[in-house]
Structure 1
Amino acid sequence: MSDPVRLLAVPALSDGVEYAYLATVAPSTRLVFTAGACPLGTDGRTVTPGDHVAQARQVMANLEAALTAGGATLADVVKSTVYVASSQRADLVAVWQVVRDTFGDHDPPSTLLGVAVLGYPDQLVEVEAIAAVAAR
């Protein structure tokens, strides 16, 4: 995590969650907003149709590439939103595990949503993020 970002727990809320409840960003910080990272391969096609976990891995790799292009890393993320095209909690949990494993010890506030459909054919997962890095 970069110096301009603080991830905070909230003592009045449950401590049994795998993410910070809020993040603060110093005023001298440059924000990096990503579009939703999708499970697209270099050929522009959705990878591994039907496999939530494999798509989540591709999404996180694509998110890392986008953040790098913006001068940020996963450790700079201050908020993420994870979309899973499923009404099954097990699918959401499986995708969430990939996201958490990829973030490692960094636990930014995040929202996990089950949705009816995503934009690309056969797409099951999408993750968008906001990162904060020291202004240059």
Structure 2
Amino acid sequence: MTPRDPSSENGALPVIVNPPHLHDPTPNGYSTAVVTPGTGRLAFISGQGGQDRTGALSPDFGAQVRQAYDNLAAVIAALGASPDRVVKLTVYVVDHDMSKLGVLTKNVMRIFGGSLPAQTLVPVPKLAIDPMLFEVEAVVLLE
């Protein structure tokens, strides 16, 4: 097990677990497992899509993914947390194919750096509104 940050003023941070005998998932933007400490509250963040402040959605997949992760980062900050406190992501991708993985990985790395949460990608035929191509939800460990 590798701690995300060995020092913490308010107690233990989540611990990333990537067993050495399994494929290394970090180049793909996630960790195999993340363990939360025995104390702490969890926040469950609803799916964030690629809508901007006005509710507009770009028709471009990459633009929607970037905006969705920016929206997620804003919610995390509003909770008084930071990206290294995110323990689980679930992403939903309309008409997923392998060409989209690079866009997803780039944005996960941009927000989370080396503190990669556990993550599941779910291909879907559509989301809540027709122009929406991507959605991300998160579980965050609060202090």
Short-chain TM bin: 0.7 to 0.9
Q: Distance in 2 between matches of 1:109 and 1:16?
A: 10
Percentage of matched positions with identical amino acids: 32
Which residue of 1 is the match for residue 9 of structure 2? none
CA contact (8 A) 1:92 1:114 kept: no
Aligned residues: 132
Q: CA deviation at 1:117?
A: 0.6
Q: CA deviation at 1:100?
A: 2.5
CA contact (8 A) 2:62 2:103 kept: yes
TM-score normalised according to structure 1 size: 0.86
Q: Distance in 1 between matches of 2:109 and 2:13?
A: 22
Higher relative contact order (CA closer than 8 Å, sequence separation 6+): 1
Secondary structure, counterpart of 2:64 in structure 1:
helix
Q: Distance in 2 between matches of 1:119 and 1:92?
A: 22
Structure 1 stretches of 4+ moved >4 Å:
none
Whether 1:69 and 2:69 are equivalent positions in the alignment is no
Which residue of 2 is the match for residue 35 of structure 1? 46
In angstroms, what is the RMSD of aligned CA positions? 1.7
Q: CA deviation at 1:133?
A: 2.4
For residues 51-77 of structure 1, give each alpha carbon's deviation from its aligned partner in whole angstroms, at most 9, with x where no partner exists: 111111100110011112222121110
TM-score normalised according to structure 2 size: 0.82
Which residue of 1 is the match for residue 118 of structure 2? 109
Unaligned runs of 5+ in 1: none
